[in-house]
Chain A
Amino acid sequence: MSYYWQYGTLGALTAVGGAFVVIAFLGNRLMRPRKPRVEKATTYECGMDPVGEGWSNTHIRYYLFAFLFVIFDVESVFLFPWAVQLEKLRPQGTVLVEMIVFIGILAIGLLYAWKKKVLEWVK
């Protein structure tokens, strides 16, 4: 049962950490005065009156980088069980080639992204 002891400890630690934040903010909320006014609820824009809607112009490159991250994150997830078992699996050459093929195919994707200038942050 050491599995559940470990995760129970982790869970308790997370709960304590969460409770810490909750109690701090709750205590603050209960103790401070609340006098809501319209001016107080407007967006802060360095002391000036806010103009326009709340959204700023997001550049597409953030989305593309996040997307590339998802793809390569999934690739790294497949690397974990492979790395753990690499020494014990037989035939070893086949297992190695399987992963090389996998990484190779995604490396071609990275090459594609590179050549299409997706990886450039500043144009």
Chain B
Amino acid sequence: MILAATGPEIAFWGFAVVAGIAGFFVVGSRNVVHAALYLVGVLGSVGAIYIVLGAEFVGWVQILIYVGAIVVLLLFGIMLTKAPIGGVALDNNQRPVAFIVAATTFGGLTWIIWRTFGGTRIRLSPTRTAQIGNSLFTHFVLPFEAVSVLLLAALVGAIVLARRD
């Protein structure tokens, strides 16, 4: 996929490389807290990629929700479980197999996607928040309301499971 201008293209590749390296360290790090912090790098880079591709609202939502709320939740979860840190604490001996499977999946997917979309050129045009609001409340109302029940179910379920009875 080739972007329309050079500046955004360089920015895209830069953020993609950062996200890839950070992602590699998320799964490769032996310290759980370090892994959570590398996750911030991954999620932030993905948010930046959204912004580069013109999805401004989605990019900021990604940073606001994922980096701002979900990573915090993750860190509290790690603190609650008092995860053992250092050495071979959270490791198993299937890393080589996992690496082979992951590399094969990555290679296969890249080949398949490149085959179909390799020659496509897109013209970047930033999406305004107003457009999202427009379609969300006219075309996509039903998933929107279903999501509210889903959020409520998650809230109630989490409180039931986490409360000290």
Chain B binds chain A: yes
Interface residues in chain A, defined as those with a beta carbon under 8 Å from any beta carbon in chain B: 1, 3-4, 7-8, 11, 53-55, 58, 60, 62-64, 66-71, 73-75, 77-78, 80-85, 88-89, 95, 98-99, 101-102, 105-106, 108-109, 112-113, 116, 118
The answer for the CA separation of A80 and B60 in the assembled complex, in Å, is 11
Tell me the smallest distance from the CB of B112 to a CB of chain A, in Å: 31
Query: Beyond the given A55-B82, A78-B136, could you list 8 further A-B residue pairs with CB under 8 A, ordered by the A residue number?
Result: A7-B51, A8-B11, A11-B11, A64-B159, A66-B69, A69-B69, A105-B151, A116-B159
Main secondary structure of the interface of B (DSSP, over half): helix
Flag if B82 contacts A89 (CB, 8 Å).
no
Flag if A78 contacts B144 (CB, 8 Å).
yes
Main secondary structure of the interface of A (DSSP, over half): helix
Tell me the smallest distance from the CB of A100 to a CB of chain B, in Å: 11
Question: Which residues of A are found within 8 Å of B145, using beta-carbon distances?
Answer: 98, 101-102
Question: Which residues of B are found within 8 Å of A105, using beta-carbon distances?
Answer: 148-149, 151-152
21 A/B residue pairs, CB under 8 Å, sorted by A: A3-B56, A60-B163, A62-B80, A66-B73, A67-B155, A67-B158, A70-B70, A71-B155, A73-B69, A74-B65, A77-B64, A78-B144, A80-B57, A81-B136, A84-B129, A84-B130, A85-B134, A88-B130, A88-B134, A99-B137, A108-B152
Name which residue of chain A comes closest to B154, CB basis.
Answer: A71
Given contacts A63-B77, A106-B151, A118-B163, contact A70 B69 (CB under 8 A): yes
The answer for the CA separation of A122 and B156 in the assembled complex, in Å, is 21
Question: Which residues of A are found within 8 Å of B158, using beta-carbon distances?
Answer: 64, 67
Name which residue of chain A comes closest to B164, CB basis.
Answer: A60
Name which residue of chain B comes closest to A99, CB basis.
Answer: B137
Partner of A58, one of B52, B57, B80, B133: B80
The answer for the CA separation of A106 and B82 in the assembled complex, in Å, is 31
Query: Counting CB contacts under 8 A, is B122 at the interface?
Result: no
CB neighbors of A among B25-53 (8 A): 48, 51-52
